[in-house]
């Protein structure tokens, strides 16, 4: 019995589940993406320095960074909230502990006296030096030894 074209079964793929998965993946990645500007507090007015230069491409790919914003009174601005000096020291210690825990969880051996994370300091131009010095000292006591100071270019 010959088959005719009209009696043939046609298999058409159902693309609805595939589209659902694609949309769920897009939603997931939009939720977990880290936009680099989240850490930069707009309340901090950076000092102007003639020797300020843009970050090199190799430095951008650098390991992990923690951005610390310091307001004109010398208080740490962390996650959008103003922290007094004693609370800022606790926050820095907690961040150091989180880095150590993350390294242990991933099986990486790091020295707690010399953490690989770079501290990026964004201090207001009117911040007292003593407050900034105390913050740097607290970072060093917690094991951070790499620092970057942010400033605006004077040219």
Domains recognised in the chain with CATH numbers: 37-153 (3.30.420)
Per residue in 15-74, pLDDT (tens digit) is 889 999 999 999 988 887 766 555 777 777 777 776 656 666 555 444 588 888 888 888
Which string of b and e fits 41-60 if b means at least 16 CB within 10 Å?
beebebbeeeeeeeeeeeee
pLDDT for the residue numbered 139: 92
Q: What is the pTM of this model?
A: 0.64
């Amino acid at each position: 019995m010959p088959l005719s074209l009209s009696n043939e079964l046609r298999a058409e793929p159902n693309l609805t589940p595939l589209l659902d998965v694609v949309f769920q993946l897009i939603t997931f990645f939009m939720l977990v993406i880290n936009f680099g500007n989240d850490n930069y507090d707009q309340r901090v007015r950076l000092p102007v320095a003639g020797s300020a230069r843009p970050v090199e491409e190799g430095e951008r790919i650098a390991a992990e960074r923690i951005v610390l914003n310091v307001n004109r009174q010398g208080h740490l601005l962390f996650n959008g909230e103003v922290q007094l000096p004693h609370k800022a020291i606790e926050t820095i210690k907690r961040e150091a502990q989180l880095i150590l825990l993350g390294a242990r969880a991933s099986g990486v051996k790091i020295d707690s006296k010399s953490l690989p994370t770079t501290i990026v300091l964004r201090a207001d131009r009117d911040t007292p030096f003593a407050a900034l010095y105390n913050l740097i000292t607290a970072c060093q006591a917690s094991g951070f030894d790499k620092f970057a100071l942010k400033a605006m270019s004077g040219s």
